[in-house]
């Protein structure tokens, strides 16, 4: 079962931007797309651990700031031809409040 | 909505590339059906030569396997040749009766080997050289028979001959012309090529016309007889005398053909619902026989099939490389010349090197090289760009490495490198890895190689080398794109110039507005185009366009440099490299208070605090109370100075003060890339002004200004721009040059790349010769800088950027 943690409000994440959430499992990056969708990934690039939260967000992807791999926000997979995957976490937005599950 | 039906006839390289481009643009617009006369899915036809030579197997050259068609929901009919197009009902019918309706039809039928109409042409053992079947027939013959004759001394014929010789046959090449590859080579280079191939064991008979192929009595060829009565044994005859576009199908359907299927610049035939691409096409009277132009056509055709309707095909300049291992040969453009042209030739008979450049006025229009082709990509790029070479003309023949280039670009001969040798130092990629990826994955462009191997994807200094490897692996299939028309990124077909022009002329002031106006094919761009657009908007409309932090690289968003562990570095400005005990004390205090792990003196005459947590940045800036040094930004970085006339026994000008004044005046200046300046007090040049974007050197009677130097990836010495007398003139000329660069350079081009593109004469015309223009440029820069403030000051800090959340 998912335990939802209230994290922040939608307004607190800039569109096409990200916020970092510090948790017991490590830093998690919360991304917001132009359409207002929110995604959560472990803040570690599958390449060499770059902080994805610091990248440029476009469509449903983020470009890692260290060596420009593109990572899909919905499943954490690197865009081909790069291969690798970073952990993704369930998120929901209700009445503009963002909830994150660490399950 | 019901999908439209797209049918493609011809499952070859041009057609499938068009589908790939189309699926990239609109994956769901069409139900696609493909007919292919061959029993194979799309394969890399040009690699038939390495297959024949035994360097690769058939299975290695498949480009799109059956699964690819499945994954993209394409109905694939292999082994089915389309026999008829019923244009009225919009249906195609294959020989076996299979039918398919279309809304749009794409003809990509390629061409066939031209078979000489001589007696005996139908005998067993007589083949063309076009497809897997031909190749297999040749391989089988080589196992059983001894004597092979290849008719045709062109590209294809020589590759066939080489392959057969490697398979142990005794090969004679018969050619009707006085020298080999007459369409690509002049007599000198052809002679060198012939000698090299003779050394490999091939025999040649030039200026010979075939009269008849003689049968052995059992239906197989046994010899070949020439017009002059001569006869030589032949168990295998390969006809490589040219190709004929496959137009019969189109012609029978009443579509206008003239040696090829005639198409417009949008790849449309005379029937608006029928498109055609590839070797079967005649575009502006030309039929192409190399894949690079076909891929350009594919892009344009896909653009129109996707209903974007903005791309035009305007013809291609092609180049040739022979894919025979150990032979280095290149030709491009018009190499025979004419009345208006002149030539630069270098011919070293003993050394086995030959180079001919053909120029029209000061533009390079053609090149032939034999033996040493390491500069071929460089020359080819200049031919395609129509670049004015007046300034480098006297050194042109010696190649790129001769032009004061200390980097690794073009220094090594790609062909002589072993597979284990490293090509890309940044990503540790060896030659073997690149060659393997090109062959196995069917890569054709630099961009492809970058994506798959990472070679030249970082600093880019090995780009030339990677291009050479690509060119020598895929032959003429490789074509560098003309830099002037290169799209800004995959999200658009528009070039940097076109985008900047639209922003200026249509007064676009935001990123979404620009993307909509220019039909971007993504909703919010990518990490390549957004930073470029953000800069172009700010540059064109200062004080009006609003900065978009989310379209900036993290460094410019956080006003500090991200490090490999995610911490940041802080470099405060020390104008002109001058500091004070108070400043040093403050830096020391901050370093202690925040446990800064490393304090380093940078190469830019100031101090770097490294290993700082992002959340601490605003506090550190406040404690330092010094302005940002922009060490992270595409902006004015440092102004390096020497001690100058205030102290130095040789100094003739006060370089320190000049440096400080420049750094203060041009602080906060956003630019296409970083911008570095140095000022030296005398020609001993202790501030290293010779390798800066602007380098200033004090002399007795004033100041010399140099521009477009670079001390980075490849060292380039700055070029002399002008000599001036006064302090104010230095400011005005420096500012005007900076503004010209800001307005005209492509995003991420340093001044060296920009000036290389437009030419120093262009810069002189705008900055030196035309005083009114210089003053206007300078005024525009000062206007843009008005009111700019330190990004580290409290009111400029966006708290949200630095604070993290917690659960
Ligand atoms: C800190 C410093 C090295 C040092 O410890 O001395 C440095 C550090 C970096 N340089 Fe540099 N460069 C430093 C002086 C130089 C110099 C020397 C100079 O400026 O006199 C050069 C050659 C001069 C030139 O630029 O022409 C130099 C040529 C480069 C290049 C190659 C640029 C090129 O166009 O070829 C890069 C890569 C790039 O910009 O794409 C680069 C990139 C970098 C980056 C920003 C790499 C990155 O993208 O993260 C490094 C940032 C480290 C950091 O976070 O602090 N750095 N870098 C120097 C800072 C000077 C300063 O005070 O601002
Ligand atoms: C041995 C060899 C080496 C080469 N080397 C190079 C090189 O180094 N560099 C370079 O740039 N180019 C090279 N080329 C040329 C290059 O391969 C061609 O330019 C390219 O393949 C043409 O692509 P296309 O799609 O127009 O035609 P093709 O690739 O020939 O595809 C056309 C397809 O349509 C099929 N077809 C025809 N009619 C019908 C019909 N009615 N119904 C169904 N299917 C039909 C054909 O069977 C064929 O499969 C080489 C060619 C050969 C043969
Ligand atoms: S500081 Fe410059 S030279 Fe040193 S590792 Fe980084 S980019 Fe390379
Ligand atoms: S760490 Fe993300 S791309 Fe290298």
Q: What is the DSSP string of B49-65?
A: HHHHTTSS-GGGGBSS-
Give alpha helix (H) positions in B364-410. 376-385
CA distance A65 to chain B (A): 7
What is the tally of structural domains in chain B? 6
Q: Are residues B752 and B658 in the same domain?
A: yes
Using most ligand atoms within 8 A of CB, pick from B7, B9, B13 the residue to mutate for ligand 2: B13
Instruction: Specify if B301 maps to a domain.
Output: yes
Instruction: Specify if A3 maps to a domain.
Output: no
Structural Rg of chain B based on CA atoms: 31
- Does A81 score more than 80 pLDDT? yes
| End residue of a domain, out of B241, B258, B286 | B241
- Note the pLDDT of residue B381: 80
Q: Which long-range contacts (CB under 8 A, 24 or more apart) does B783-789 make?
A: B783/B542, B784/B539, B784/B542, B784/B543, B784/B669, B784/B739, B785/B665, B785/B666, B785/B667, B785/B668, B785/B669, B786/B543, B787/B543, B788/B667, B788/B668, B789/B668
Instruction: Specify if B572 maps to a domain.
Output: no
Cα–Cα distance, B226 to B556 (Å, whole number): 74
Q: Are residues B385 and B446 in the same domain?
A: no
Nearest protein Cα to ligand 2, atom 13: B46
Owning domain of residue A51: 17-86
Q: Pick from A14, A21, A49: which is nearest to B807 by CB?
A: A21
Residues of A in contact with B552 (CB under 8 A): 56
Structural Rg of chain A based on CA atoms: 13
Ligand closest in space to the Cα of B663:
1
CB B506 within 8 A of CB B517: yes
Distance between the two ends of chain B, CA-based, in angstroms?
46
Helix (H) or strand (E) holding B593: helix B581-593
Count CB-CB contacts under 10 A for residue B29. Answer: 17
Check CB contact under 8 Å for A8 and B804. no
Q: Are residues B229 and B252 in the same domain?
A: no
Q: The CATH number of the domain where B219 resides is what?
A: 3.50.50.60
Owning domain of residue B539: 487-552
* Ligand 2 site, CB within 6 A: B 9-15, 35-38, 45-46, 48-49, 81-82, 108-110, 129-130, 156, 159, 246, 249, 278-279, 289-292, 294, 323, 475-477
| CB distance A47 to ligand 4 below 6 Å | yes
Residue B353 Cα to ligand 1 midpoint, Å, equals 40
Q: Are residues B762 and B654 in the same domain?
A: yes
Instruction: Specify if A98 maps to a domain.
Output: no
- Note the pLDDT of residue B470: 84
Question: How far is CA B399 from each of CA B76, B367, B391, B492, rounded to the nearest angstrom?
Answer: 48, 12, 14, 34
Q: Are residues B673 and B783 in the same domain?
A: yes
- Note the pLDDT of residue B403: 58
- Note the pLDDT of residue B415: 67
* Ligand 2 atom at minimum distance from B47 CA: 3
User: Strand pairing of B675-680 and B636-641?
Assistant: parallel
Total number of residues shown for chain A? 103
∠ CA B460-B463-B466, rounded to 5°: 135
Residue B194 Cα to ligand 2 midpoint, Å, equals 27
What is the tally of structural domains in chain A? 1
Q: Are residues B455 and B496 in the same domain?
A: no
- Which residue, among A25, A53, A58, would best test binding to B if mutated, counting the most B CBs under 10 Å from its CB? A58
Cα–Cα distance, B229 to B580 (Å, whole number): 96
Nearest protein Cα to ligand 1, atom 53: B561
Cis peptide before A81 (omega within 30 of 0): yes
| CB distance B570 to ligand 1 below 6 Å | no
Helix (H) or strand (E) holding B226: strand B221-226
Nearest protein Cα to ligand 4, atom 3: A67
Please name the residues between 23 and 82 in chain A that touch chain B, using a CB distance below 8 Å.
23, 27, 30, 34, 48-51, 54-59, 63, 65-68, 70, 81
Instruction: Specify if A11 maps to a domain.
Output: no
Q: Are residues B383 and B438 in the same domain?
A: no
- Note the pLDDT of residue B402: 62
Instruction: Specify if B284 maps to a domain.
Output: yes
Instruction: Specify if B557 maps to a domain.
Output: no
Check CB contact under 8 Å for A58 and B527. yes
Give alpha helix (H) positions in B186-329. 187-199, 248-252, 291-305
Instruction: Specify if A52 maps to a domain.
Output: yes
Q: The CATH number of the domain where A68 resides is what?
A: 2.102.10.10
Closest CA to B651 of B622, B626, B623, B680: B680
| End residue of a domain, out of B434, B453, B484 | B484
Q: The CATH number of the domain where B778 resides is what?
A: 3.30.413.10
Q: How many helices (H) and strands (E) does chain B have?
A: 24, 38
Q: Are residues B502 and B438 in the same domain?
A: no
Distance between the two ends of chain A, CA-based, in angstroms?
8
Structure confidence by residue, pLDDT tens digits, B741-784 = 999 999 999 999 999 889 899 999 999 999 999 999 999 999 99
Closest residue of chain A to B457, computed from CA coordinates: A67
Instruction: Specify if B611 maps to a domain.
Output: no
- Band (pLDDT 50/70/90 cuts) for residue A101 is very high
DSSP-derived secondary structure for A64-99:
-TTT--EEETTT-BBPTTS--B--EE-EEEETTEEE
Q: Are residues B735 and B655 in the same domain?
A: yes
CA distance A52 to chain B (A): 10
Instruction: Specify if B570 maps to a domain.
Output: no
Q: Are residues B160 and B235 in the same domain?
A: yes
Instruction: Specify if B623 maps to a domain.
Output: no
| CB distance B316 to ligand 1 below 6 Å | no
Give me the residues paired with residue B237 across strands: B126, B149
Count CB-CB contacts under 10 A for residue B185. Answer: 25
pTM of the full predicted structure? 0.74
Using most ligand atoms within 8 A of CB, pick from A44, A53, A61, A67 the residue to mutate for ligand 4: A67
Q: Are residues B780 and B645 in the same domain?
A: yes
Cα–Cα distance, B667 to B669 (Å, whole number): 6
Backbone dihedral region for residue B181 (phi beyond 0: left; psi -120 to 50: alpha; all else: beta): left
Which stretches in chain B have pLDDT values below 50?
404-412
Question: How far is CA A42 from each of CA A87, B110, B176, B550, B801, rounded to the nearest angstrom?
Answer: 5, 50, 68, 20, 18
Give residues with Cβ within 8 angstroms of B59, minimum separation 6: none
Residues of A in contact with B562 (CB under 8 A): 51, 54, 65-66
Check CB contact under 8 Å for B807 and A65. no
Give alpha helix (H) positions in B118-262. 132-144, 155-166, 187-199, 248-252
CB A26 within 8 A of CB A43: yes
Cα–Cα distance, A17 to B790 (Å, whole number): 23
Q: Are residues B775 and B702 in the same domain?
A: yes
- Note the pLDDT of residue A39: 98
Instruction: Specify if B583 maps to a domain.
Output: no
């Amino acid at each position: 079962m998912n335990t939802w943690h209230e994290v922040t409000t939608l307004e607190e994440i800039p569109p096409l931007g990200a916020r970092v959430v510090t948790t017991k499992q490590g830093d998690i990056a919360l991304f917001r797309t132009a359409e207002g969708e929110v995604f959560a990934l472990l803040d570690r690039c599958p390449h060499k651990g770059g902080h994805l939260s610091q990248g440029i967000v476009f469509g449903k992807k983020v470009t890692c700031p260290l060596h420009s791999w593109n990572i899909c926000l919905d499943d954490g997979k690197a865009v081909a031809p790069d291969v690798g995957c970073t952990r993704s976490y369930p998120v929901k937005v209700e009445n503009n409040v963002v909830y994150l599950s660490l399950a | 909505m019901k999908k439209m039906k797209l049918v493609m006839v011809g499952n070859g390289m041009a057609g499938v590339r068009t589908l790939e481009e189309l699926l990239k643009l609109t994956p769901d617009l069409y139900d696609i059906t493909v007919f292919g006369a061959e029993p194979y899915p799309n394969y890399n036809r040009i690699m038939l030569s390495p297959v024949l030579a035994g360097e690769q197997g058939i299975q290695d050259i498949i480009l799109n396997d059956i699964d690819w068609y499945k994954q993209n929901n394409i109905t694939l009919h292999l082994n089915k040749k389309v026999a008829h197009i019923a244009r009225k009902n919009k249906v195609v019918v294959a020989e076996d009766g299979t039918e398919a309706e279309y809304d749009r039809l794409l003809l990509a039928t390629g061409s066939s080997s031209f078979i000489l109409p001589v007696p005996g042409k139908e005998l067993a053992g007589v083949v063309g050289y076009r497809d897997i079947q031909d190749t297999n027939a040749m391989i089988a013959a080589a196992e059983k028979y001894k004597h092979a004759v290849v008719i045709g001394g062109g590209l294809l014929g020589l590759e066939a001959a080489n392959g057969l010789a490697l398979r142990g046959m005794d090969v004679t090449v018969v050619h009707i012309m006085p020298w080999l590859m007459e369409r690509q080579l002049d007599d000198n280079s052809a002679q060198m090529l012939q000698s090299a191939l003779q050394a490999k064991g091939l025999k040649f008979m030039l200026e010979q016309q075939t009269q008849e192929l003689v049968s052995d009595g059992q239906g197989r060829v046994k010899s070949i007889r020439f017009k002059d009565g001569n006869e030589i044994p032949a168990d295998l005859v390969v006809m490589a005398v040219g190709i004929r576009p496959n137009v019969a199908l189109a012609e029978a359907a009443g579509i206008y053909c003239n040696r090829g299927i005639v198409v417009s610049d949008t790849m449309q035939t005379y029937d608006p619902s029928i498109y055609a691409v590839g070797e079967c096409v005649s575009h502006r009277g030309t039929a192409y026989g190399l894949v690079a132009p076909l891929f350009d056509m594919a892009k344009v055709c896909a653009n129109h099939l996707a209903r974007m309707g903005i791309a035009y095909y305007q013809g291609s300049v092609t180049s040739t490389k022979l894919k025979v291992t150990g032979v280095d040969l290149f030709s491009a453009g018009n190499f025979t010349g004419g009345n208006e042209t002149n030539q630069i030739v270098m011919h070293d008979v003993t050394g086995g090197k030959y180079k001919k450049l053909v120029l029209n006025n000061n533009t390079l229009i053609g090149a032939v090289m034999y033996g040493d082709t390491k500069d071929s990509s460089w020359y080819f790029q200049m031919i395609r760009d129509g670049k004015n070479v007046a300034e480098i003309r006297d050194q042109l023949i010696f190649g790129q490495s001769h032009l004061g280039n200390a980097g690794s670009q073009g220094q090594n001969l790609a062909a002589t490198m072993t597979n284990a040798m490293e090509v890309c130092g940044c990503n540790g990629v060896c030659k073997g890895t690149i060659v393997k990826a090109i062959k196995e994955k069917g890569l054709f462009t630099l961009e492809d190689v970058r994506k798959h191997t990472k070679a030249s994807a970082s600093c880019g200094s090995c780009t030339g080398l990677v291009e050479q490897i690509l060119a020598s692996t895929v032959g003429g299939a490789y074509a560098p794109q003309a830099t002037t028309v290169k799209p800004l990124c995959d999200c658009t077909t528009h070039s940097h110039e076109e985008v900047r022009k639209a922003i200026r002329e249509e007064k676009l002031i935001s990123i979404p507005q620009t993307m909509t106006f220019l039909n971007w094919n993504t909703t919010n761009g990518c990490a390549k185009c957004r930073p470029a657009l953000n800069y172009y908007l700010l540059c064109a409309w200062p004080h009006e366009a609003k900065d978009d932090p989310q379209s900036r690289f993290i460094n410019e968003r956080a006003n500090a440099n991200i490090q490999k562990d995610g911490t940041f570095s802080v470099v405060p400005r020390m104008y002109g490299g001058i500091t004070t005990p108070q400043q040093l004390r403050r830096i020391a205090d901050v370093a202690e208070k925040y446990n800064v792990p490393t304090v380093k003196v940078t190469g830019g005459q100031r101090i770097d605090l490294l290993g700082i947590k992002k959340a601490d940045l605003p506090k550190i800036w406040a404690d330092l109370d010094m302005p940002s040094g922009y060490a992270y930004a595409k902006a004015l970085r440092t102004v390096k100075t020497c001690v100058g006339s205030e102290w130095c026994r040789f100094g003739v000008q006060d370089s320190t003060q000049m440096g400080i004044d420049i750094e203060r005046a041009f602080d906060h200046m956003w630019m296409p890339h970083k911008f570095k300046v140095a000022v030296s007090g005398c020609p001993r040049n202790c501030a290293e002004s010779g390798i800066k974007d602007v380098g200033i050197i004090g002399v007795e009677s004033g100041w010399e200004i140099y521009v477009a130097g670079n001390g980075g990836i490849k060292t380039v010495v700055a070029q002399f721009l002008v000599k001036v007398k006064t302090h104010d003139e230095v400011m005005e000329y420096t500012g005007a040059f900076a503004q010209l660069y800001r307005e005209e350079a492509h995003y991420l081009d340093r001044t060296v790349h920009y000036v290389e593109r437009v030419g120093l004469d262009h810069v002189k015309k705008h900055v030196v010769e035309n005083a009114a223009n210089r003053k206007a440029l300078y005024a525009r820069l000062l206007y843009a800088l008005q009111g700019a403030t330190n990004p580290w000051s409290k009111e400029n800090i966006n708290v949200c950027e630095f604070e993290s959340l917690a659960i």
